[in-house]
Amino acid sequence: MRGAVYREPKQPLTIEEFHTPRPKVNEILIKTKACGVCHSDLHVMKGEIPFSSPCVNGHEITGEVVEHGPLTDDKIIQRFPIGSRVVGAFIMPCGTRSYCAKGHDDLCEDFFAYNRAKGTLYDGETRLFLRHDDSPVYMYSMGGMAEYCVTPAHGLAPLPESLPYTYGAMAHAAEIRPGDSIAVIGIGGVGSRCLQIARTFGASDLIAVDVQDDKLEKAKTLGATSWLEPRLSLKEPIAIKKFNC
């Protein structure tokens, strides 16, 4: 398979050939259908976050289940059968250790000790090896900027048939129609895209809400027609009137 490899800061990623990764117990091999570019990925690529290299970035994936690791739990196989559609998470909780057992899977010890600190999964090994010399390549989360990726099953959720692999939430969950009024709360990477997509779908009132002035300034360039700084000031009185807020 091919994957986009990061080797050193501020250099272009290189497209390289890999062996198809092999999942281990309670892991799933996914054929990647889409992968977002998160600012966390950019932090790694710019050298702003120290991370093992070479590595494959990408953690906002959707894809199709291709294979279960040997001895994977039957419940996992039933939840994610071969051919089913899945969406992956930034944090891939182990599901078993103390924080995960208490429901605080955002603090999963294994995720931070192995994936964030070493670029591996939870046996201390990567699943990515270059085809030409078998050398290891590390994984930022599941390493989603590749044609296939291996993910611990606890880091996945089923993707409903009603949602396509890309842009699903805006088109099919929010059901934005021409002339709609929408508010986007939080104008970061995801919120910026939501504004642009909503404008493309024909929404006429686009209200950006954020606590940072620079993000609101950026929102104007992305099509926001009104904006709110909820803590300090209300810069566009039309928004108040219309929404009585």
Nearest CA-CA partner of 46 in 57, 35, 36: 57
Sign of CA dihedral 43, 45, 46, 50: positive
Provide the minimum distance between the beta carbon of 101 and Zn ion in the complex, in angstroms, as a whole number.
8
User: Taking CB under 5 A as the rule, does residue 153 contact Zn ion?
Assistant: no
Provide the minimum distance between the beta carbon of 244 and Zn ion in the complex, in angstroms, as a whole number.
44
Applying CB under 5 A, which part among 90-98, 124-132, 163-171, 177-185 lies near Zn ion? Answer: 90-98
Provide the minimum distance between the beta carbon of 100 and Zn ion in the complex, in angstroms, as a whole number.
3
In the window 172-191, what residues touch Zn ion (CB under 5 A)? Answer: none
Window 41-80: contact mask with Zn ion (x via CB under 5 A): ----------------------------------------
d(CA 154, CA 156): 6
What the block records as the tokens of 183 is 């508010």
- Give, in order, the Cα–Cα distances in Å from 176 to each of 138, 143, 200, 201: 39, 32, 10, 7
Total chain residues near Zn ion (CB under 5 A): 5
Contact 41, 58 (CB under 8 A): yes
User: Which residue in the block uniquely carries the two structure tokens 């895209």?
Assistant: 193
| Closer by beta carbon to Zn ion, 100 or else 187 | 100
Q: 104 by DSSP, 3-state: which?
A: coil
User: Taking CB under 5 A as the rule, does residue 94 contact Zn ion?
Assistant: yes
CB atoms within 10 A of CB 20: 16
Window 103-142: contact mask with Zn ion (x via CB under 5 A): -----x----------------------------------
User: Taking CB under 5 A as the rule, does residue 38 contact Zn ion?
Assistant: no
- Give, in order, the Cα–Cα distances in Å from 211 to each of 74, 183, 191, 231: 46, 14, 13, 7
What residue type is assigned to position 155 of the chain?
G
| Closer by beta carbon to Zn ion, 153 or else 198 | 153
User: Taking CB under 5 A as the rule, does residue 100 contact Zn ion?
Assistant: yes
208, HSE (Cβ side, Cα atoms, 13 Å)? 29
Q: Which of 43, 79, 97, 116 binds Zn ion (CB under 5 A)?
A: 97
Provide the minimum distance between the beta carbon of 198 and Zn ion in the complex, in angstroms, as a whole number.
36
Nearest CA-CA partner of 15 in 119, 150, 136, 147: 147
| Closer by beta carbon to Zn ion, 109 or else 217 | 109
| Closer by beta carbon to Zn ion, 16 or else 110 | 110
End-to-end CA distance of the chain: 52
| Closer by beta carbon to Zn ion, 17 or else 106 | 106
| Closer by beta carbon to Zn ion, 4 or else 108 | 108
* Footprint of Zn ion (CB under 5 A): 93-94, 97, 100, 108
